[in-house]
Amino acid sequence: MSLRRVVSVLTVPALAIVLALVVGAAIMIFSSPLVSGHFDPLLPLGAYAALLSGAFGSYNALIQTVVSSTPLILAGLAVGIGFKAGLFNIGAQGQFLMGAIAAAAVGAGLSGGPAIVSIPAALLAGLLAGALYGFIPGFLKAFTGAHEVVTTIMLNYIAIQFVAYLVTGPLRATGATFARSSDVGTAALPILIGRNGHLGILFAFVAVPLAWWLLYRTTLGFEVRTVGANPDAARYAGMSPRTVIALTMAVCGLLAGVAGAGEILGISHYMPAGYSTNVGFDAITVALLGRANPVGILFSGLLLGAMRAGSNLMQIQAGVPVQMIDVLQGVILFFLAAEVLVRYIFRVRAARVQVDELQTVSRSYGGQTTP
């Protein structure tokens, strides 16, 4: 990719972030009477400073940023690779949960065994569960034409309820005061750096170059991209769009499943009944902000992870609630979707080469992506 191309691709995401920070600042100023009793035009400065310092201000803050980014990057890839194949994978959330519960179950089952067995087994379980949960909508799309947006949304609900059932039922730990699965014991991922920099963070940093290499340097990735860009041309070229779609969704699910397994085995070490996470949905923002490119997803995942990591300090120091991050994220997503608006505000000329992933999003609602 030429430098000019890179700049042209990055313009809108960068401007979307700037606009989000401006909108966030405006909200903080107007709601500042609720925090401090009077209008405080400087509140955003303090809040953003605390956010920065909470994300990058210390060694532990940096590690926390990386740890928070890990699932976002992995699940971001799960959405982004889908975009490349012309699929809008809204099911990263469900795939993440299935990966998490499978890892929790196998981890708990092998919690007394040697780590050399229990860790790979629990990870493998999470990965396979995610892959299977991605394969289902992929298969349905490829062979029956059922739209992945609809099926993955439904599968998300099924995953939430299924996890709740397992944790309150068959997998419920005895003796725990609230419903949760039992501890994964030796299957817990070792801490490599800092307070909580677990082994799982490596997965994200391996997955990014691997995904890039597969997409852009192998015939498999070429098939995925061709099916996404033009399914008819893919058939003409002798590819099988059906197989590609089913398998790509399985790979997406695998990545989201690894993200889920990493969170359980690396951080919480058990699955609580009300496991509240938004990783699978935040991943859509990550993928769009990263322009569905693995390297872009790495950086957008780090950015959103940094905002998550720094938000606690922002709440403590500036009194701005952590939910502000959701607002920022929402505004970023809004401006990414309203690309024309961003270009108008900043008078940016449209790129000559269209960005495909947003087409996938809009096309997904009515257009044809079926083989």
CB of 239 to another protein, least distance (A): 8
Nearer Cβ to another protein, position 41 or 232? 232
CB of 237 to another protein, least distance (A): 5
Do residues 124 and 105 touch, judged by C-beta distance below 8 A?
no
CB of 289 to another protein, least distance (A): 20
CB of 91 to another protein, least distance (A): 25
- Helix (H) / strand (E) element for 309: namely helix 294-318
Distance CA 71, CA 126 (A): 13
Nearer Cβ to another protein, position 195 or 217? 217
Nearer Cβ to another protein, position 38 or 347? 347
Tokens of 128: 């396979």
Task: Please give the backbone phi and psi of residue 125, each rounded to the nearest 5 degrees, phi first.
Answer: -60, -45
Nearer Cβ to another protein, position 243 or 312? 243
- Scanning 40-91, the segments in alpha helix (DSSP H) are 43-56, 59-84
CB of 250 to another protein, least distance (A): 17
Do residues 312 and 322 touch, judged by C-beta distance below 8 A?
yes
CB of 221 to another protein, least distance (A): 8
Task: Please give the backbone phi and psi of residue 197, each rounded to the nearest 5 degrees, phi first.
Answer: -75, 85
Nearer Cβ to another protein, position 169 or 238? 238
Distance CA 197, CA 191 (A): 5
Nearer Cβ to another protein, position 38 or 352? 352
Nearer Cβ to another protein, position 170 or 238? 238
The 8-class DSSP code of residue 266 comes to: I
Do residues 332 and 285 touch, judged by C-beta distance below 8 A?
yes
Distance CA 21, CA 36 (A): 21
Do residues 224 and 244 touch, judged by C-beta distance below 8 A?
yes
Nearer Cβ to another protein, position 146 or 229? 229
Distance CA 253, CA 156 (A): 12
Long-range pairs for 217-226: beta carbons < 8 A, 24 or more residues apart: 221/84, 224/81, 224/84, 224/85, 224/248, 225/84, 225/85
Nearer Cβ to another protein, position 287 or 355? 355
Closest CA to 160 of 218, 101, 107: 101
Question: By the criterion CB under 8 A, which residues form the site for another protein?
Answer: 2, 217-220, 222, 226, 229-230, 232-233, 235-239, 352-354, 356
Furthest-apart CA pair in the chain: how many Å? 67
Exposed / middle / buried, residue 49 (Cβ in 10 Å: 0-12, 13-18, 19+)? middle
